[in-house]
Structure 1
Amino acid sequence: MLRFAANISTMYGEYDFLDRFEAAAQDGFEAVEFQFPYDFPAADIARRLAGQGLASVLFNAVAGDLKAGEKGLACLPGRSRACLDGVERALEYAVVLGTPRIHLMAGLAPAGVPRATLEGQYRENVHAAALLAAQAGVDIMLEPINPIGMPGYFLNTQQQAHDVVQALGLPNVKVQMDLFHCQIVEGDVTRKLRNYLPTGRVGHLQIAGVPDRHEPGTGELAYPYVFWVLDELGYEGWIGCEYFPAVGTRAGLGWIQPYL
């Protein structure tokens, strides 16, 4: 049976953040993911999770100065200390929340810096982050993001992410395969699922309608067929619902009712 986690950074915007846990549980979700929890004490989030019987399955490591437009630090020369400080901060939360995986954002590629330089820096920081995370039993996730929604992002394709995972050879470095980004950048989604899931390198999936990032089932990607393929492949991990409801969260949950 497929398992879905509500992304409460994009869903349930009708509620204050700490109230979204209850709303997700009321709608039948057994797990949540979110982007950046750092505006709230970890203990407060942990109480909401426990009170609703929810699992926390994923969140992002600190990604630099978001207000200044930073989208991660891992590929940036000269920012390794800040990158790893952000990982350590994330691991503090992960231990309290029982979260088994964190997403390490690659960042925007600086103009004029050779790709090989950024690649070397990225792999070095991912390796160091993974060693830190292994001490807490946490996986580091690498997510390719489409350059239309995030121009200049360093990591765009599934194969780029898999190449890093293979090169590092660390058991707690895995790919976060967001099918929304995959469809926009590359398409051929179900063939990629068939190619990559059996490798064991994919640690988490995310979904949204394409191209508007509304409910799965809206737009060009046929999610009922995608879900059938995932069942056929025996996928047992979580599927994060990282989409922005078109009208209201609950009004748009018809797509998930057959699967909860």
Structure 2
Amino acid sequence: MIRLAANLSMLFQEHDFLDRFSAAAEAGFRGVEYLFPYAYAPEALAGALREAKLEQVLFNLPPGDWAAGERGLASLPGREAEFRESVSEALRYADTLNCPRIHAMAGLVPEGADRETLAAHQDTYLENLRFAAREAAKAGRDLLIEPINHRDMPRYFLSRQDQAMAAIEAVGADNLRLQFDLYHCQIMEGDLIRHLEQQFHHIGHVQIAGVPERHEPDIGEVNYPSILARLEALGYRGWVGCEYRPAGNTRDGLAWGRVHGLTP
């Protein structure tokens, strides 16, 4: 059966962050993810996980200055030392939280970037991923990369599935995996089931949200029951992260997940 993980950066915002763990468990979730853990001591997060009997399934590396609009460091020339520090910090948290996978956000390219600039970002990206994958492998963790659509995140360096697959092939690390976000893929490319089939053996994590408004998966243009059934038939045994913005109260919107064990 598909295992659903609550994204606590988006779901249960009716509660303070550390209270969202117990709210997710009460709704039937057994795993959680979120954007960033770094505002809290890892021991506090580990305690919230233990108390709620939840598994930490994913979080992101430090993204640079998020408040100033930065969206990751992995492709940014001249920021390599900072990226390496972010890998170390993420792995420190992953160890305490027993989290098996971490996501490296690629970052933004400059407005009107020319081919030379884009090539520099590509070279930096691949070299940084090689380093991060090696460090993650030493710690027994997977490193994930995720194409993100240009409507929500203009100028994000990694935006298409074939671009991600090319990076994974170029790096050649067994623990470098694809974070397949069906919401982003639908906006950029569509043809979701074919993409899942073609990239299945490289998928390390899946995320879902309704398209186009990023609300509950049963709101919008994507037939998630069909897609999740195909994902299960392919043999996927990982987590599916619910990374959506509830249209109203989180608990009221969870009826769509009842078939997967949620109990709104």
> For the superposition of Structure 1 and Structure 2, which TM-score range results when normalised by the shorter chain?
over 0.9
Q: Which residue number corresponds to residue 175 of structure 1?
A: 178
Superposed, which structure 2 residues align to 1:20-169 within 5 Å? 20-111=20-111, 112=113, 114-169=117-172
1:143-168 deviation digits (Å, cap 9, x = unpaired): 00000100000000111111111111
Whether 1:238 aligns to 2:234 is: no
Alpha-carbon shift at residue 114 of structure 1 (Å): 2.4
Query: Does the CA contact (< 8 Å) of 1:144 and 1:161 recur in 2?
Result: yes
Q: Distance in 2 between matches of 1:231 and 1:59?
A: 23
Q: Which residue number corresponds to residue 216 of structure 1?
A: 217
Q: Which amino acid aligns with 1:87?
A: V
Q: Which amino acid aligns with 1:83?
A: F
Q: Distance in 1 between matches of 2:250 and 2:14?
A: 8
TM-score normalised by length of structure 1: 0.98
Q: Which amino acid aligns with 1:42?
A: P
Alpha-carbon shift at residue 234 of structure 1 (Å): 1.5
Query: Does the CA contact (< 8 Å) of 1:76 and 1:110 recur in 2?
Result: no
Q: Unpaired segments of 5 or more residues in structure 2?
A: none
Number of aligned residues: 258
1:83-116 deviation digits (Å, cap 9, x = unpaired): 1111111111000000000110000012435222
Q: Which amino acid aligns with 1:77?
A: P
Q: Which amino acid aligns with 2:257?
A: I
RMSD: 0.8
Partner secondary structure for residue 257 of structure 1: helix
Q: Which amino acid aligns with 1:212?
A: E
Q: Unpaired segments of 5 or more residues in structure 1?
A: none
Alpha-carbon shift at residue 259 of structure 1 (Å): 1.0
TM-score normalised by length of structure 2: 0.96
Whether 1:225 aligns to 2:256 is: no
Question: % of aligned pairs identical?
Answer: 50
1:205-255 deviation digits (Å, cap 9, x = unpaired): 000000100000110001111111112212111100000100010000000
1:8-48 deviation digits (Å, cap 9, x = unpaired): 01000000000000000001111000101100100000001
Partner secondary structure for residue 86 of structure 1: helix
Q: Which amino acid aligns with 1:41?
A: A
